Homo-oligomer: A and B are copies of this chain.
Amino acid sequence: MRKTPLFLITLLAAASVWGQPPADSQPAPTNVMGAQYPRVHADNRVTFQLKAPDAQKVQVSLAGRHDMTKGADGVWSVTTPPLVPGFHYYQLIVDGVSVNDPASHAFYGTSKDASGIEVPEKGVDYYSSKDVPHGEVRIRPYLSKITGLWRRSFVYTPPEYDDNPKARYPVLYLQHGSGEDETGWTFQGRANLILDNLIAAKKAVPMIIVMDNGYASRPGPAAPDAAVAGRGAAGGTSAFEDVIVKDLIPLIDSTYRTIADREHRAMAGLSMGGNQTCQVTMRNLDKFAYIGAFSGTMNGLSTEPLDPATAFIGMFKDGATLNKKVKLFWIGMGTAEPNPFPGAIGAFRAMLDKAGVRHVYFESPGTAHEWLTWRRDLNDFAPRLFR
C-alpha cells in the first residue's frame, strides 16, 4: 500500500555521493547526519570528498590548500597531513570559488556560515557530552534600545537552575571573535559542555553565561567603520559597549536570577572579543570584577611598546588601585599563534607588569588562533571565577 516515502527518496539521492570508507577512519563528529566524509584517521589525517564531475579544479582550504584528485566517478578526494585536534573552519575551492562542504555542518565564522570540522582530541573529555547534569543554552530575543533592532543572546543556565527557584547566580559575559556571532561559544566553543563538566566536578561554581553578538551600531547613517566595510548600520561595533551596559546587563538581571553586583559579574572574550572585554570592563569597573582576555588584548593588533603612564589614557597606570578592584585579570594565548598576536599580547602584558597590575597568564600548547585555544582558556578561566 505504501510507496517509498519522501525521506527515503531524499536519502537515496544523497547516498550516491558517498563511497566505501577506509577502515582506519571515522566520520568527523561535525558531519551532517549520515555523511561518511570527511573522515578522520587515527593519526588525525582527514580525507575529504566532493562529487563535482564538471569542475576543473577542486581544493580543500584548511591549514593551507590541498589539491583534490578527480576519480573516474567524478568524485574528488584528498587526504590532508595530520591536523591539530579541535575545531577548524574550512572551505572547498571549486574552480576558484570558496564554498562549503555539503557534508559538514556550517558554523558562523569568517563572516559567513562556513564549514567546520571537529578533529577528536585523544584522552581529553572536558568539552565532551558526558553523563553529568546538563544546563541549557537559551535563545533569548530582545529589542535593543541602543540599536533599535532585534538581537538575541545565547544564555547558558547551569544544571541546577530550574531546581532551585530561589537560588541566585553570578554571571559571565562571554564574547566571540571577529566574523563570528552569539552562536560561536556554544557550537564551536562548547562553553555549555565545558561548564557542565566543571560544575559536575565541583571545579567551577554554578554560573550563568551570557553570549551576545559583538557587532552593534546605532540607527541612522553607518558609523565610519561600518561604512568602510560596506556593512549596514547593524554591522559595526561602535555601540557594543552601550548594548552590554544599557541593554544587556539590565535585561539579564531582570530576567534571570543573578547576583547583580560587580563581585559576581565577569567578562571574557576571544580575539576581537578580548579587545572588547578589556575596553568594556576597564571603562565600567563599577560593574565588573573579573576580566578574561583570550588571544586578544586592549591594544588590538599593535605590537608597539605601551607606557602605562600614557597608554589608554593612563587607565592601567595605578597598579595598586587596580589590583584592589580587579579580582582576576586573566590573559591567554596559544603557543602556535601567528604574528601579531604574540607581540601584541606580549606588549600588553609588559605594560601590566610595568604598572604592577597582577594578572594570570596561560598558554595553550601547540594551538594557534583557534577554538581549541579558547576552549582551554575557558576551562582554566572559569574555575577561578567568583571565589
Whether A234 pairs with B34 at a CB distance below 8 angstroms is: yes
Contact indicator B1/A95 (Cβ below 8 Å): no
Q: How far is the CB of A286 from chain B (nearest CB, A)?
A: 25
Known contacts A52-B95, A141-B129, A150-B129: does B5 contact A231 (CB below 8 Å)? no
A51 to chain B, nearest CB (A): 8
Q: Which residues of B contact A260 (CB under 8 A)?
A: none
The range of chain A's interface size is: 35 or more
Q: For A138, what are the chain B residues with a Cβ–Cβ distance below 8 Å?
A: 136-139
Interface of chain A residues 298 through 313 with chain B (CB within 8 A): 299-302, 304, 306, 311
A83 interfacial contact with B, CB 8 Å:
no
Residues of B within 8 A of A186 (CB): 139
Pick the contact of A33: B4, B52, B181, B228 (CB < 8 A): B181
4 closest cross-chain pairs (CB), A and B: A34-B231, A7-B178, A11-B229, A54-B96
Residues of A within 8 A of B (CB): 1-8, 10-12, 14-15, 18, 27, 32-34, 36, 50-56, 94-100, 102-106, 108, 110-113, 129, 131, 134, 136-143, 150, 155, 162, 165, 177-179, 181, 186, 192-193, 215, 225-226, 228-232, 234-235, 237, 255-256, 271-272, 275, 299-302, 304, 306, 311
